[in-house]
Structure 1
Amino acid sequence: MAPVFILITIAVIMALSSTYANDNNPLQDFCVAVPDASAAVFVNGKICKNPKLVTTDDFVATGFEVPANTTNRLGFGAATADVNKIPGLNTLGLTLMRFDIESNGVVPPHIHPRATEMFVIVEGTFYAGFVTSNPSDGTKNKLFARDLNPGDVFVVPPGLVHFVRNVGNTKGLAYVAFNSQNPGFIAVTTSVFGTNPLISTEVLTKSFQLDKKTIDYLQSKFGGY
């Protein structure tokens, strides 16, 4: 990876992990997470490890030089450095992701309910965008989208529907940062047509102005990613 991309990635991490963290600010230097299976109670996050038992390994993850698996119907994959991989991230309001996408691959419209997203393009050409909500300033459902090339950085405000497509002829790579240790991922299609149990056909035919046959077909297609 060229040095400029490393510097940009570091800048993204630092920006999202400082003043603008979306999660609650920590009350101590660190709160290294203990494995969920060892927790006696449930908390909003993870229980802290005894500081005397913390080691350097609690703040390290390896393997992000390896491309993520993209052999799926959408052609994209992600390797995530979150609190489950790096226990020392607990309460620090940060998640980092390596994102690989095949030519013509797509990340379908989705939202992250608990985080702002920022990503830097390292390889390939992406078409990415997001759609505004329904504010009173006249920008209702406005699309903000453009092609992105290596070195470009794109920001998606929290909770807005957004998407990514690789419009280049080669595999793409980006690094993504979220200002939450649990940003969440809600795919629009799966959340509507792939629920368990399924949403009533009557609700969906009326909502989308489609016939029952079409709704049945869509529900058969979106069983999750």
Structure 2
Amino acid sequence: MDSTVRRRSSRDDEVRDRRRRHVANAALQVVDETGADAGTALIAERAGIPRPHVYRYFASREDLDNEVARLAAQDLIQRVRPHLARRGTPGQVVEGLVRACATWADAHPHLYRFLAARGQSRTLHRARMGRSRLLDEIAVAARGYTKSGDELFPEGILVGVMGMVDATVIWWLDQRDETLDVMVRRLSRHVTLVLQDALASHGIHLDPTVELEPFIGE
């Protein structure tokens, strides 16, 4: 392949990637505004392209949904990440994480529901995208906070806790029967108790009054 052909191919790839990102961002906006049932026609309209052209850049609706989940999770991770590097008691650390998730969910209820549902997707899990990336980062930080290794802090503990957080936050989004602050404080207490009990069964005992050192610096 000569240099002219290579340059043309490179430009074509750049254009295709740019248009793919444009369609994905349009889909993200539509799902954020209307929910996971948003049709491809609405996404195409937001992107300013004919409906069939969506599938020039994505192999299927599943492929597009995976990219939307990745983008949404990336935004959520950016909101949560600072709280993985803060000193505090177990309760304070947990409340910081729960509050970050709940505040993001309050601002993006449709995306939060979408992510929670996609978190059960085998395809998404195998690809290690979306919520699994968030889980990975929390697991690493948790092992750092507790000075435990992989064997002593199984990821299954966090999977169960995340399920509890999702269920509670989604219930709150649907019912709004208490303030965000009340829900966050109540949920944080429950999560802290579950974690303390689960960790104790693995020989890790957390003093609720002792401040934990962050895994990474501020």
Q: TM-score, normalised by structure 2?
A: 0.25
Q: Given the two structures, how large is their TM-score scaled by the length of structure 1?
A: 0.24
Name the structure where helix makes up a greater proportion of residues: 2
| Structure (1 or 2) with the greater strand fraction | 1
